[in-house]
Amino acid sequence: MLPLAVLLLVATHQAIAAPSATSLQTDLTFLFQNDLNWPTAPDHKGTILISKFGTRAQGAAACAELNESLLTTDGPYFESDTKSLLTYLNINSRYYKQKFWVESTPDAPCSVISLPGALQSVSCNSQFPTFCSQSAPYRRNTDVDPNPAYQVQVESKKLTVVGTRDHLSFRFLGIPYADHFERFSYSKPFSGVGTINALNYGSPCTQSSGGSEDCLFLNIYTPYLPQNPARSKNLKPVMFWIHGGGFTSGEGSDSIYDGGNMVSRSDVVVVSINYRLGALGFLALEDGVTNGNFGIADQITALQWVKEHIADFGGDPSLVTIHGQSAGAGSVRALLASPPAFGLFQGAIAQSNLGGFGYAATYSKYLTIQEQYASFGGALVSSVGCAGSPNVLACLRALPASNIISASNGPRYIVVDGKFITTDQLQVNNGQAARAHVMFGWMRDDGADFIGAFPTTNSTLTSALLGAGLSSDVVKKVVGSNLFPTPLGTNSLQNLFNVTSRIGTDGQFRCIDQATLIAAAKHDVFPSVWAYQFDRSYGGYEPVPGTCNPPPTSAFPNGDPSQPYYRCHSGELYYMFGTLGQDSQPFRDANDLLLSQYAVDMWGSFARTQNPNPSAYFLAARGYTNTTKMLQQTGGWNKVTPREKMPLRIIDAPPTNSQWLEEKQCDLLGYPFTFYG
């Protein structure tokens, strides 16, 4: 049985097929000069480039097939935006000093535009590529009943995928990447044929808030649809996003993760995915068959789909960067250790990977199937009434999914299954890992809300740390040392929370990741290694209310980032996706916009070049002056090497470079820089 998303388009869409690069016999390139400054975004025009050379009439006819006209040359940002877009196209040898058809003016009945943005009149029978208008509005996360005028389709192998576009990119949503699967079995790449309606997001995977088991969908945001992918020299780097949520919640269609900004600003293809969660994604039984890691296997299935199909959507299958945050970062770490994933990606970014004591431990140190079953799986089997069944697996498969997902303390842990995960941790001292360029980082106060509840009047540092999972021996060392001094503020409970936040960040994020990168660079496990700490945040994971946002002032009613606040887990996501300022998260000060521009530029640069330092050549061509000025003032990001004294990039506005942090503290907690050898 095929997933419900695989449908022939409804009758209103069947009458006239959506245009495609194939039907128009031309590459389609989406261009938008995205400065991420959303108060002025409606005043910036986008364009769709028709690469095929033709007369003015032929260019206009191609635009009409897209329900557009030739690009008009008015608007407050047209001159500056077009100059930047032309400059960027000019570095492509195919478009060097090229003229493009645009809408006529009274003085030039057949008008073309070229660098430096000047219009000129030419013979209407001349042959040039064409700039079409791009009238689709900004529709992020409002994907119900999109206007048929903006639809476009892609033929990929035996599939026809009908998507749409908005103000930022071509969008193909809710594409099934796996065949229908039986619960607690491993997914396989989608083998269906026919037409897929990719106009709406697919269901999230089953979790406490809802969802469905028919959930293995991915979304593609792209700036480029090639006529002939096999011959194209313009395929774009691919950024493959894995959402977080503790392996129990989340979805690739979360509005924070909309890929349009990264696509339009960085000239990359963005893919986001769903994968099975909770016990449905991670339960392992001691039956030799049900070996867990179904959610990790789903991610590999999605990568296999991308390898097979992404070129048809303009992406380069040989230049894929996986990136994820929290449990998504734990997934990235696991994929770096997973032999079936080797070769499916060339870069990896882990944002706030957990590891160390307490809750964080299993994200970097994997359980055996027996350990998982003894502590979690067996209890679940009993709680849902399958313990006495002669066939436990059949019993579990017969239950409603909600019964399994709602069981308390159900398994959600990566295990050593022998196929997808073969070692109990990522090997960073002997080279048994994917040969991918890696970038690991964390938030400055990543552990603030992971150490436990906010202190009460009866709390002590000892009770707080024991409750968070530290051993009594380590707690005695911490309490008896002067390495984690308690602040002397007037609020004693806040002072205690400040200390536990620091210990939680060190012991559950910073120390393990620093040790990982130090060992990886020492043993040359990865082609290149990069490290960062994010020192500005916007919102984030906040089970303790009031910890993750700066206080408002009369000058900064949305919060003053210069005032003390915790840089919380997930607080970098709006910045690096460029989605800050688009919903109910207004810019708090000028640096919010600057850091959003810089973060998108870094992540995009890593995807294009495996180096998070955007090249001056690229920045100049795109007209990204703010990032250019920031790098000129602060210098570049240093690669992690055994000899580099300042290997850590502190990401803020402005950024700085730093030595490794908290060395003595990490040693005291039992996670020294030499933890992995």
DSSP state of 284: B
Reported as a pLDDT band with limits 50, 70 and 90, residue 145 is: low
pLDDT digits (tens, 9 = 90+) for 600-656: 999 999 999 999 999 999 999 999 999 999 999 999 999 999 999 999 999 999 999
Q: Is pLDDT at 59 greater than 70 in this prediction?
A: yes
Q: How many residues does the chain have?
A: 677
CATH superfamily placement of domain 148-416: Alpha/Beta hydrolase fold, catalytic domain (3.40.50.1820)
Q: What is the pLDDT of residue 9?
A: 39
Q: What is the pLDDT of residue 286?
A: 96
Q: What is the pLDDT of residue 144?
A: 55
Q: Is pLDDT at 452 greater than 90 in this prediction?
A: no
Neighbours of 232 (CB within 10 A): 17
Q: What is the pLDDT of residue 117?
A: 84
Both tokens assigned to 380? 């679940």
pLDDT digits (tens, 9 = 90+) for 541-598: 998 888 899 999 999 999 999 999 999 999 999 999 999 987 678 999 999 999 999 9
Per DSSP, the three-state class of 49 is strand
Report strand pairing: 648-651 vs 415-416.
unpaired
Domain 437-669, what architecture? 3-Layer(aba) Sandwich (3.40)
Q: What is the pLDDT of residue 89?
A: 94
- Domain residue extents for the chain: 28-133, 148-416, 437-669
Closest CA to 437 of 366, 367, 336, 339: 336
Distance CA 262, CA 280 (A): 32
Which residues on adjacent β-strands are paired with residue 530?
439
Per DSSP, the three-state class of 108 is strand
Closest CA to 336 of 400, 242, 249, 450: 242
Give, for 83, the enclosing helix (H) or strand (E).
helix 78-90
Handedness of CA 537, 539, 543, 544 (dihedral sign): positive
Reported as a pLDDT band with limits 50, 70 and 90, residue 86 is: very high
Contact assessment for residue 457 and residue 493, using Cβ atoms and an 8 Å cutoff? yes
Mean pLDDT of 213-224: 98
- For 428, residues 6+ apart whose C-beta sits below 8 A from its C-beta are 516, 519, 520, 523, 525, 676, 677
Q: In CATH terms, are 28-133 and 148-416 the same topology? A: no
Distance CA 676, CA 194 (A): 50
Fold of 28-133: Mannose-Binding Protein A; Chain A (3.10.100)
Per DSSP, the three-state class of 619 is helix
Handedness of CA 444, 450, 455, 460 (dihedral sign): negative
- For 382, residues 6+ apart whose C-beta sits below 8 A from its C-beta are none
Distance CA 503, CA 499 (A): 6
Per DSSP, the three-state class of 47 is strand
Reported as a pLDDT band with limits 50, 70 and 90, residue 408 is: confident
Distance between the two ends of the chain, CA-based, in angstroms? 50
Q: What is the pLDDT of residue 164?
A: 94
Single pTM value for the model:
0.96
Mean pLDDT of 421-441: 95
